[in-house]
Structure 1
């Protein structure tokens, strides 16, 4: 199997980014490693030990520290377990499960077992949303409440828009990096730009052997056994998973859809501002606490 990363130097670059985002957290976190059927999985754990357990799964190319940074206010009230997704994070085993069956669901169930979490809340972001849906299809009884943010595996966007707005600018940047090409690449991904996310994405796409597989779309019959109340958030400017289309299919896909929202003026990566982080964590936290 081909490595997800372009050698040890590339891994070191991504590891430094993980530590950079972790270093910006204001709440102490603990690193844990759990064994699964496909290899070791790294998890960052933080928040009050008596708080309700929440498992958080990050998007493609990112890490547990990235997603914890964006959802940091959840650490005030919840015991958060941010999992480094295999095949997408340098912190976990360098393996790539299938995206056309339930291998990711089996892996995540192993992670829950390794963490001794019988029925936590689950929050999945982008690629992590796809992984969460695979767990919901395989072992729905393991999820208390499910929150999906801009999830993969529900709908796909226009192939033409994806090619012209994201894929081609990304390839041009990889071939000949420059600040202008980096901005062209992130323009249709990031809602806001800052000193972290644009440089990180530039480094990440150059450090990784890109996984161009498209996750299979979930089918209603796969989720017929899901009992967990489900929240779905989408962005109205998301090229990858168009918001209105995503929410429309969510209404037919999730039998326990309890809440949904189309976030205005939002691309696939939502605003990276403190104000939005507070709003998003409250939105998710209120939903999780409702149970």
Structure 2
């Protein structure tokens, strides 16, 4: 536990806030705990049993509540499996294998097998987009469609936000809320308080590798990529260029004025996945 949280007590506080938030999930849902070779994995399942299946992977510092604003749009039509990524502040195992090793692909093999999905659509945001891309490139036969929201691994990481954020880090909860706004590019209101509290206890990954061209060229399934033109964390223009060159069949959309946290994309995602 100490690897991903600053203290054991802080980790428990993060999990307790998450459990409370799950009680506000806006549609009926089933809570599953799957055994995988990386440890127990928590999955929240919503939508009709016979709906097109989707495995949703959140970003760094997130959990299934990433999709809370979207699930009411998706659940009438899609069978959404919101997975808590291992090594992140959800209810899955607090293990953090190296990105680029076979560990995350094998973990997702176990998740997909445990859910009885083959093939399935994958939906990933930020780090979740990196994981979805890695899996789709190595297991293309198991991925029917791929949706990537501000994905890691395409464009280079950017750090221009760091000098702006540093002065606020010493200003407690208020300062953390300001940092959340700088990083996400969105005014999240009360949600920023919860995110700031999580990052006050959580140790995020520091590096997300950029994929070599050969990995992206293996994405042969239908692909939707959505980026914000004001993403403070990833070079979204670079993402667009690489997708155009290496995944030419992909549907690429740039959201004007949007940052790294892409809000309001539920309709576009549903249209692509139905």
TM-score by length of 2: 0.92
Q: Which runs of 4+ in 1 moved over 4 A?
A: none
- 1:27 matched to 2:27? The reply is yes
Note closer, same or farther for the CA distance 1:245–1:267 as it changes in structure 2 (3 Å cut). Answer: same
Deviation string, structure 1 residues 64-112 (Cα, Å, up to 9, x no partner):
1232444431112101000000011331001001113342222112210
Alignment partner of 1:54: what SS? strand
User: Which of residues 183, 205, 210 is equivalent to 1:211?
Assistant: 205
For 1:188 and 1:83, the matched residues in 2 are separated by 26
Contact 2:152 2:208 in 1 (8 A): yes
- Show the counterpart of 2:10: 10
Aligned residues between the structures? 274
TM-score by length of 1: 0.87
- Show the counterpart of 2:39: 39
- Show the counterpart of 2:237: 244
- Show the counterpart of 1:269: 261
- Show the counterpart of 1:163: 162
User: Which of residues 215, 228, 243 is equivalent to 2:221?
Assistant: 228
- What RMSD, in angstroms, separates the aligned Cα atoms of the two structures? 2.0
Alignment partner of 1:112: what SS? helix
User: Which of residues 199, 204, 207 is equivalent to 2:193?
Assistant: 199
Note closer, same or farther for the CA distance 1:256–1:165 as it changes in structure 2 (3 Å cut). Answer: farther
Note closer, same or farther for the CA distance 1:192–1:270 as it changes in structure 2 (3 Å cut). Answer: same
- Show the counterpart of 2:133: 133
- Show the counterpart of 1:282: 267
Unpaired segments ≥5 residues, structure 2: none
Note closer, same or farther for the CA distance 1:255–1:104 as it changes in structure 2 (3 Å cut). Answer: farther
After TM superposition, give the deviation of residue 63 of structure 1 in Å: 0.6
